[in-house]
Amino acid sequence: MKAIKTEKAPAAIGPYSQGIEVNGMVFASGQLPIDPTTGKMPEGISAQTRQALTNARAILEAAGLGMQNVVKTTVLLADIADFTAMNEVYSEFFSEPYPARSAFAVKAVPKGALVEIECIAAR
């Protein structure tokens, strides 16, 4: 098991790794839409989705992978009404064959974010 770490994504805010690689699989922790250079979140679901996926991509790149290696994502939304807008931005980051995905609304996302996205990738 190997920890994946990069300065190009927000540091872990608890007892977890940005990512873990095991047996050719990379598990990227859920990414909040925090800009790692400013520590701030953009406003709106589209900008937040873009930042969360940019953070996830940075972790994958630190492991030598890219978005084309993603096999599964999980999307947590603070409001399911944001699903369509999230999906529009999400589609900019992936191409066919698209990864498997779960997307659902939760009572709250950490730090008041509108979205959190985690990825699983394979070598």
Q: Output the pTM of the full model.
A: 0.96
Q: 106: which strand partners?
A: none
Asked whether the predicted pLDDT for residue 13 surpasses 90, the reply is no
Which residues are CB-contacts of 31 (< 8 A; sequence separation ≥ 6)? Answer: 9, 10, 52, 53, 55, 56, 59, 116, 117, 118
Asked whether the predicted pLDDT for residue 122 surpasses 90, the reply is yes
Confidence of residue 12 (pLDDT cuts 50, 70, 90): confident
CA 93 to CA 57: how far, in whole Å? 9
- Please give the distance of CA 99 from its chain centroid, rounded to a whole number: 13
The DSSP element (H or E) to which 60 belongs, if any, is helix 45-62
24-83 confidence digits (pLDDT tens): 999 999 999 999 999 999 999 999 999 999 999 999 999 999 999 999 999 999 999 999
Which residue ranges form the domains of the chain, and what is each CATH number?
Answer: 2-122 (3.30.1330.40)
Average pLDDT of span 14-26: 96
Contact, 118 vs 74, CB < 8 A? yes
The predicted pLDDT at position 62 comes to 98
